[in-house]
Each structure stands twice: as C-alpha cells, then as structure tokens.
Amino acid sequence: MATIKDVSKKANVSIATVSHVLNNTKFVSEGVRQKVLEAVRETGYTPNKIAKSLKMNRSKTIGLIVTYIENPIYSKLFRVIEEAARLQGYTVIVTNSSDDPEMEEMQIELLLSNRIDGLIVVPAKNSTMKESPIIPADFPVVLLNRRLDREQATNIVIENKKAAYEAVTHLIEKHNYQSIAAVIGARSNMLSSEREAGYSEALLDHHAEVHREWIVEGHSTFQGGFIATQQLMELPHPPRAIFVSGTNMMLGVLMQLKKMGLKCPEDIALIGFSDSTVNPLMDPPLSSIAQPTSEMGVMAVERMIQKIEGRENEHETVILPYTIHYRSSCGCQWEPTLELLNVGNKYFHP
C-alpha cells in the first residue's frame, strides 16, 4: 500500500508539502499542487481517513435530509452530493423527513448522535430548524430549495416566484390561454406559496381569468395531483391549462387527464415544476422548470466543507439560475435531441 512518503518521492517534494496539498492547510503553487495530485493518482495513495478524523476530532461524515427521497429531483441531488463529498474524503448519510417537521427533528437528532460534521437539509414544511435547540448555534448547516432565516446557515435556492411567473406568462402570451388553473402543494410549504404567488401575479398582470376554485391545494405527491385534477375537471367551467407546483404532482395530473380521456395539450395544456429525466420521455413530453440540481449539490458540499474547516460560517443566501424547457405539453413544437436519446437508452435499454 502506498504511503505519503511514496507520494513525496514521486512528486519530488517534501512530505510536508504533500500534506498541505491534501489538507488545504497552506498555500501551494498550482504547478506543485498538480504534481502532487498526479503523484497521488499514480501511486494510488489513500489518506488514513480514520486516523485523521480522530486526530482532528472529525468523523468526515455529512448528514443529508430530504423531504421525499423517491422524488427524482432529490434522488439526483443525493447522488450529486454523495459523489462531490466522496471526492473530498467525506461520507454522506441520507435520511427522509416525509415533509414532516417532527420527523425532520427526529432525523436531525439521529444524525447528530452519529457525530456528523455538518448537516445539509431540504427543510420540511413548517420546519423548526430556524431556532432548533438541538442544533448547536455554530454547527455547519446548509439549506436547499427552501429558505430559512437561520443564523450562520447557507441557503441555496432558485427564484421560485419568478420562475412560476415566467411559465404562466408563456401560457398566456405564446398560446393565448386565459383560463389557467394551479395545482399546488400545501401553502405551509414555502415552495408552494412562492410558486402560487408567481402564478397569481402573472394572471393579474395579464388580465387573465382569476377564479378561486381554479387553485387546488393538496399533497405534493402523485396522488395529490391525481385527485386535484379530477376536482378541477369536474367544475362547471374547467380550465384550459394547468400550472403544477411539483414533479410528482404533475405526473399525477397527466395520469388523471388520460384516465378521463382528455388529450394534452389539445384539451388541457400543462406546465410546472420541476424538470427531471423522465419528463421528456412522457407522452406528451412535459414542459417544466428545471432547477440546477447538480450545481446546487456541488455548491452545498463546497459550502459545507468551508464551514466544517472553519473558513466560512456566515449566514448567506445563494440564488441559482433556473431553466424552463418548453415541450409539447404546453402546446409548443418540440423535437427530441441526441442527449434525450441517450437518456432514453439509460431507462429503456433491453
């Protein structure tokens, strides 16, 4: 097994220099740094993680809590965070809160009892994390997707209200839909309330029809979207288009439309949050707002390690850009790309 001495010999530098490069404890020129990293790869050297963590009183473990791990967005987020952390010598323990604040607190206690070095969380609706007494005030915390004003925490989010406004405006200006409904999650969920606000503001600004019964609040699940759509389509004056505030909900909306014999977009147009690898594979391909999941995951790990190592632990909010993919479900003309065909091979390879 290779040792740090083998690396220093291969790179023709001192053992101390190798240590500084691997631990980021002192400035080393980029040329020397690359020589050391190349020597690490060639020798196959792996630092003794356990010995190092004991010496520094760290476990080299990060806790991750998401609301629903079965949500494709959060499944991808976990994969990105796990890989980014592993490249920095950290292990990730992931747990699920089921969007329940009490379950979230139980999971936090569980993770803290496992001596994690930091906590990355997608907060549950009505989360108590803002002033949770079980989390030490200076403990490294990064919050994703849902903003909380917790001291010394980093929030990484997108502008949900702006994205919803832009998507609904597209339905009005591009396709001339005037009767647009919204299927949203619980208003106690900050994501749902921000997205509903963007939807409502777009209708008002464009003098489109506004009906209270066209906004249906439900669970942010497949079943929630399925039930909400039936409720909408049984109204005396059903809408012509639907804006949906969540990934799994939109799949439920589409399934209910098919069950009722309605065509999308010919009878009912669809657009909503959030884009995933399955959306372009649906029939019709779903128009959706894409969050930069990979960038969010990588940044979460970067900020977390900065906090763990004491280089930064201030309260901040980072706003990442979003992208809207206008596909067939909203009425746009759309053709699959080579990238999509590669995604299809991943899911449907015999």
Residues 190, 286 share a domain = yes
Number of domains forming the structure of the chain: 3
For residues 75, 216, 130 and 104, what is the CA-based torsion angle, rounded to 10 degrees?
A: -50
Residues 164, 245 share a domain = yes
Residues 239, 226 share a domain = yes
Q: What is the pLDDT of residue 48?
A: 55
At a CB cut-off of 8 Å and minimum separation 6, what does 55 contact?
none
Q: Which domain holds residue 191?
A: 160-291+324-348
Within 10 A of 75 (CB to CB), how many other CB atoms are there? 16
Residues 286, 242 share a domain = yes
Residues 251, 281 share a domain = yes
Residues 61, 169 share a domain = no
Measured between alpha carbons, how far is 242 from 181 in angstroms, rounded to an integer?
5
Q: What is the pLDDT of residue 52?
A: 52
Q: Considering the entire predicted model, what is its pTM? A: 0.77
Full pLDDT tens readout for the chain, 350 residues = 677 888 889 999 988 788 778 766 667 788 888 898 888 888 887 765 544 544 456 889 999 999 988 888 899 999 999 999 999 999 999 999 999 999 999 999 999 988 999 999 999 988 988 877 788 888 999 999 988 888 889 999 999 999 999 999 999 999 999 999 999 998 888 889 999 999 999 999 999 998 999 999 988 889 999 999 999 999 999 999 999 999 889 999 999 999 999 999 999 999 999 898 889 999 999 999 999 999 999 999 999 999 998 887 788 999 999 999 999 999 999 987 755 555 445 444 44
Residues 95, 30 share a domain = no
At a CB cut-off of 8 Å and minimum separation 6, what does 32 contact?
11, 13, 17, 21
Residues 239, 168 share a domain = yes
Q: What CATH number does the domain containing 23 carry? A: 1.10.260.40
Measured between alpha carbons, how far is 78 from 84 in angstroms, rounded to an integer?
10
Measured between alpha carbons, how far is 233 from 231 in angstroms, rounded to an integer?
6
Q: What is the pLDDT of residue 28?
A: 78
Residues 340, 263 share a domain = yes
Residues 246, 142 share a domain = no
Exposed e or buried b per residue across 281-320, where buried means at least 16 C-beta atoms within 10 angstroms of its C-beta: ebebbbbbbbbebeebbbbbbebbbbbbbeeebeeeeeee
Residues 202, 152 share a domain = no
Q: Are strands 323-325 and 287-290 parallel, antiparallel or unpaired?
A: antiparallel
Q: What CATH number does the domain containing 278 carry? A: 3.40.50.2300
Q: Which two tokens stand for residue 202?
A: 């777009």
